[in-house]
Structure 1
Amino acid sequence: MTEPNTSASSVVPETTVPWPPLLLAVVAVLAWALTVWAPLPWTGTDDSPARWLGWAFGILGLLLIVFAMRALVQHRTTIMPNKTPTTLVTTGPYVRFRNPIYLGEVLLLLYAAEITKSLWFVAAAAVFAVLVTALQIIPEERRLEAIFGDAYRDYKSRTRRWI
């Protein structure tokens, strides 16, 4: 973790739209509606190992989100994706993933696919991953590089974006 950057907001403007929670809500609602109105046949298995895998995705996704938010709060930086961070957090799940909250949200969508037996949630997970990368992660990475410079570039070189 680097020291807090008190002038972070003056370096790069904040984004105005909190894309990740909005995108998650939209793709989840669309997947649910399509599951009800235009169901796609489930191509996966409906056996105990598949159910356990689905539950594992859900639990892991929830844990990633909780521990990532906890790390952000502990370091007194924002958890809002449309606000400028004041501290580069590299502890907790951020040791392994640059975007553990978004990864957790994808895992929750895959969990929803298994428990609803709906391919629409698999599609929603893929669409969410692409859109959150384009609308949030790439601009966020530019902002973090502008704010934290070499510290962020070093972190980026040793930590994966997704998995």
Structure 2
Amino acid sequence: MTEEKKSYFWLKTSIFFGYIIVILVMITSAGTLPEKLIVRYIGWVIFIVGFIVWLPARIQLRKYYTSLPEAYKIIKTGIYAKIRHPIYIGVELMFAGFSLVLYSLWGLVSTIVLITALHYYRIIEEERLLEERFGKDWLEYKKNTWF
């Protein structure tokens, strides 16, 4: 295994354990926000929006989705025409929304801090590799899309 693949493996492992930690924090700190029904409704709306962003992005990638630091082509259609990393955005919205559903202040905070930081680090690595692989085509795509 190359040094780059080892690094990527540890990054993926960190993200996985980050998800587990946030889920445990969410569950164990349920009820730390005011238990008002509006908070729960807002949480469900945010969760559903996250799912609506995540699912089509995941489906659209299909065979191109890989956990390894390699890419076969740049997907520029559908949700990827506007957003470079909709899967990460969708996951973060789902975690944040579910934290609100559980009235979990610490779940929300850990989502914002831990999951966002782990995703951001992965995005930096992915974008570096994509720029190496696709050059000007990637830079043009990056210039015309949000996050």
* 42, 46, 49: which one aligns with 2:36: 46
Tell me which residue corresponds to 1:130. Answer: 117
Q: TM-score, normalised by structure 2?
A: 0.82
Shift of 1:47: 3.6
Counterparts of 1:36-115 in structure 2, within 5 Å, are 41-43=32-34, 46-48=36-38, 50-73=39-62, 76-77=63-64, 79-115=65-101
Q: How many residues align?
A: 139
Tell me which residue corresponds to 1:23. Answer: 18
Shift of 1:109: 1.1
Tell me which residue corresponds to 1:6. Answer: none
Percent identity between matched residues is 24
Q: CA 1:151–1:103 in structure 2 vs 1: closer, same or farther (change >3 Å)?
A: same
- Which deviates the most, 109-118 or 80-89? 80-89
Shift of 1:83: 4.0
CA distance in 2, matches of 1:121, 1:128: 11
**Greater share of helix residues, 1 or 2?**
2
Q: Gaps spanning 5+ residues in structure 2: where?
A: none
Q: Gaps spanning 5+ residues in structure 1: where?
A: 1-12
Q: Provide the alpha-carbon RMSD of the alignment.
A: 2.1
CA distance in 2, matches of 1:28, 1:93: 27
CA distance in 1, matches of 2:42, 2:76: 28
Match of 1:16, SS state, is helix
Deviations 1:62-102 (A, max 9, x none): 122210111111xx31x233341211112222122111111
